[in-house]
Amino acid sequence: MKRNLISSLIGVVLGSLLLSGCDDSQKSAKVFPTVVRKYTQNTAIEGIVSNNKGVLKTGHVKVISTSDQLITQANLDSGHYKVEIPANTDLPILIIAIAEGETEKLSVAVVDDSIKQYQINPTTTAIAKAAKAMGGYTRANLVRAAEETVHIPDANKTTTGWRGDPTTQYGGWH
Report the pLDDT value the prediction gives residue 34, as an integer from 0 to 100.
56
Q: What is the pTM of this model?
A: 0.68
User: How many CB atoms are closer than 10 A to CB 165?
Assistant: 9
Q: What is the pLDDT of residues 76-91, one digit of tens each?
A: 999 999 999 999 999 9
User: How many CB atoms are closer than 10 A to CB 63?
Assistant: 22
Report the pLDDT value the prediction gives residue 33, as an integer from 0 to 100.
53
In sequence order, what are the residues at sequence separation of 6 or more whose Cβ sits closer than 8 angstroms to the Cβ of residue 51?
99, 104, 106, 121, 122
Asked if 80 and 57 count as a contact pair (C-beta separation under 8 A), the reply is no
CA atoms within 13 A on the CB side of 98: 9
- CA dist., res. 42 & res. 139, Å (int): 22
Q: What is the pLDDT of residues 36-52, one digit of tens each?
A: 789 999 999 999 999 99
Given a cut of 50, is residue 168 above it in pLDDT?
no
Domains of the chain: 38-119 (2.60.40)
User: How many CB atoms are closer than 10 A to CB 30?
Assistant: 5
